[in-house]
Amino acid sequence: MTQDEVIDMFRERARTDSTELPLLNTIILDLAGLLAESRGRLSKENFDALIRIGGALYKEGNSQYQARTDVGDIMKNATENEREN
């Protein structure tokens, strides 16, 4: 199987999946569980590649969380400032 075939599978799944996308943290936890279960069965290279992917997902999830937190703080401060004026 080629990378293009796998990308096509990703696209098809995204196109036809009518359910809402799971939260990124759910995906990260699923990946962590799969890696924990399969560490001895994967080559070091494959395991390291999947850890790199997990790290990128984690970084993106953390960035999204921080952005939501920042927006929440901004909204809270704006509301408090309105009350003071």
> What's the pLDDT score for residue 82?
74
C-alpha 74 chain-centroid distance: 24
Specify if 52 maps to a domain. yes
| pLDDT tens per residue across span 6-50 | 999 999 988 887 777 667 888 899 999 999 999 999 999 999 999
CA distance 78 to 72: 10
User: Whole domain around residue 60: which residue ranges?
Assistant: 20-84
Q: Quote the pLDDT of residue 21.
A: 63
Average pLDDT rounded to a whole number, residues 58-83: 82
What is the value of pTM for the model shown?
0.67
Q: Distance between CA 58 and CA 81 in Å, rounded? A: 34
Whether 68 is covered by a domain: the verdict is yes
User: What is the domain count for the chain?
Assistant: 1
